[in-house]
Amino acid sequence: MKVVIVGGVAGGATAAARIRRLDETAEIVIFERSGYISYANCGLPYYIGGVITDPEELTLQTPERFFARFRIQAKVRHEVLEIHLAKKTVTVRDLERGRVFDESYDKLILSPGARPMRPDLPGIGGERIFTLRTVEDTFRIHRFLEEQRPRSAAIIGGGFIGLEMAGELREKGLEVTVIQRPAQVLNPLDADMAAFVHAGLRKHGVRLLPGRTVEGFSNTKAGVTVLLKDEPAQEADLVILAIGVAPDSGLAKAAGLELGAKDSIVVNQRMQTSHPDIYAVGDAVQIRHSVSGEPALVALAGPANKQGRIAADNICGLDSRYDGAQGSTVIKLFDMTAAATGLNEKAARAAGLVYDKIYLSPSHHAGYYPGAKVMTVKVLFEAPGGRLLGAQIVGADGVDKRIDVLAAAIHAGMTAPELAELDLAYAPPYSSAKDPVNMAGYLAENVLSGKLRQFFWHDVADLPRDGSVILLDVRTDGEYRRGHIEGFRHIPVDDLRERLDELERGKPIYVMCQSGLRSYIACRILAQKGFDCRNLVGGYRFWQTVISDRAAADAAFPCGMEKN
């Protein structure tokens, strides 16, 4: 059996190694367009920023090592130009020698990945405008930084690559501006959770310009002018384009293989395309979202590795199936970590799911142990059944641990209340006796059982201030003086039992505290005394972060100018 693989990196290289482990006699050939057969593409920004100092560390495998260990022919700087289905051959160009030749196959695996989106805008070809996908891209940016010593950078796009680059360049001392059309960074997060990321970026000196449309670039030897629609242009010494990726599916399209969303390659659970002898893996394929069941594009290394292994299994006669991905992601930005898994609210609504949500603000380890830091957790679950749908966390330490526990719980089909039953490791330096994940389970159980009725930060502005409802702040005197929401009267929770006669019976009561815990306690007191009570989940801290973020975004627009 002869297997030809188009593209290395995560999916293609994994498939090749797996085939060899299953079939010592198979002939395996990899054609990789770049100069590197397998590299740590997720680590590229950290080399540019200087966290990774040895460029050799980026190369996970070389053609020589691949052949020595697996007897696999890995040919870099070779571009596959065409697939001939009837002849079962591919046409290949040797990019160094210019030679074009045909290579036969019995089975073909496509692992072309995704290409950075590069819109047809005036001036986009300037030499100071970069994209980041390959090791070669990384070296070009690194060389520019070393030779030109730029003082400022404009990042176009607020996704993972864009923000990682923003963080690394800011750490190197550059003035960094992030410009993007959407109103928030990090699309896997909901807008309210992204507000915490925005605050962290601004804290570290990153300038955010959300809601802007880039119309082109004006290039000079000294820098780049970024032209914005209906707004003043922005000046920078270099530009990083990070506005997203698109499936690199040109080969598949030309061969007549079935395509799906955004021209991604349609595959079945065995990673077969519409042609039974051709498989596809990685960022170019359309898969099933394992939570919603909907078609999805998940451009992540973990799924690509799994898909490569499954394609190899099936080529070698095993019955291996891919059940989809839930898109678990995590990013480090300065001293902050943001992570998500499963569905956010937008995706849940698009899938037609009926859901509820909770917010909590626990410390990442025991509060009495030095260094405890608050994280913000959001969990979505089906209502009334409680099936976990998704989770998002923004904080400092301990975020990755909790998102992985929640990702495993979602994969296992657990309900949100069942999180309370998880037996998680505890020691004061690492957690609390009631871990944040357990706390999410308790909170969800309270909501689903009716013990807790909620209202949210986005409901606050519409609450009537005409006396028809009671708005109650149960924080301390000092907290109230430092800032409160207009219209909320103040009774500290510890005084509430003795001051119930100040509250008119028969009127709904909307209660808030700093994080939602004391207001929950207040609601339990009030409910048992016959009051109709609702709790502001996330509390004043959450409301203030979101409202402040929106105010900061609005303040960036000149007076009278409309947002795009």
From its phi and psi, is residue 483 left (phi > 0), alpha (psi between -120 and 50) or beta? left
> What stretches of 34-134 show up as alpha helix (H) in DSSP?
44-48, 63-70
User: Residue 426: CA atoms inside 13 Å, Cβ hemisphere, count?
Assistant: 12
Measured distance CA(554)–CA(251) in Å, rounded: 44
Measured distance CA(288)–CA(325) in Å, rounded: 7
Measured distance CA(325)–CA(564) in Å, rounded: 33
* Structural tokens at position 191: 């807008």
From its phi and psi, is residue 127 left (phi > 0), alpha (psi between -120 and 50) or beta? alpha
Catalytic residue among 42, 316, 513, 533: 42
Supply angle C-alpha 316, 318, 320, rounded to 5.
120
CA dist 321 → 268, 269, 285, 318 (Å): 9, 5, 15, 10
Helix (H, G, I), strand (E, B) or coil at 534: strand
Let me know: does 101 contact 211? Beta carbons within 8 Å: no
Measured distance CA(448)–CA(453) in Å, rounded: 9
160's enclosing H/E stretch is helix 160-171
Measured distance CA(156)–CA(170) in Å, rounded: 15
Q: Using CA atoms in the order 433, 435, 439, 441, what is the torsion angle rounded to 10 degrees? A: -110
> What stretches of 7-149 show up as alpha helix (H) in DSSP?
9-22, 44-48, 63-70, 135-148
Question: Which amino acid is residue 223, in one-letter code?
Answer: G
Upstream peptide bond of 384 is cis (omega within 30 degrees of 0): yes
Please, what's the largest Cα pairwise distance for the chain?
A: 90
Question: Which amino acid is residue 401, in one-letter code?
Answer: K
- Can you name the residues that pair with 245 across neighbouring β-strands? 116
Measured distance CA(298)–CA(328) in Å, rounded: 9
In 290-397 the beta strands, taken as DSSP E runs, fall at 295-296, 329-333, 336-342, 355-360, 376-382, 388-395
Q: How does DSSP classify residue 205?
A: T
CA dist 397 → 164, 300, 359, 365, 439 (Å): 18, 23, 18, 9, 17
Question: Which amino acid is residue 217, in one-letter code?
Answer: F
Let me know: does 120 contact 309? Beta carbons within 8 Å: no
CA dist 418 → 259, 404, 433, 448, 561 (Å): 39, 16, 17, 12, 49
Assess whether 513 carries a catalytic annotation. Answer: no
Measured distance CA(139)–CA(124) in Å, rounded: 20
Residues with Cβ within 8 Å of residue 149, at least 6 apart in sequence: none
Which residues form the catalytic set? 42
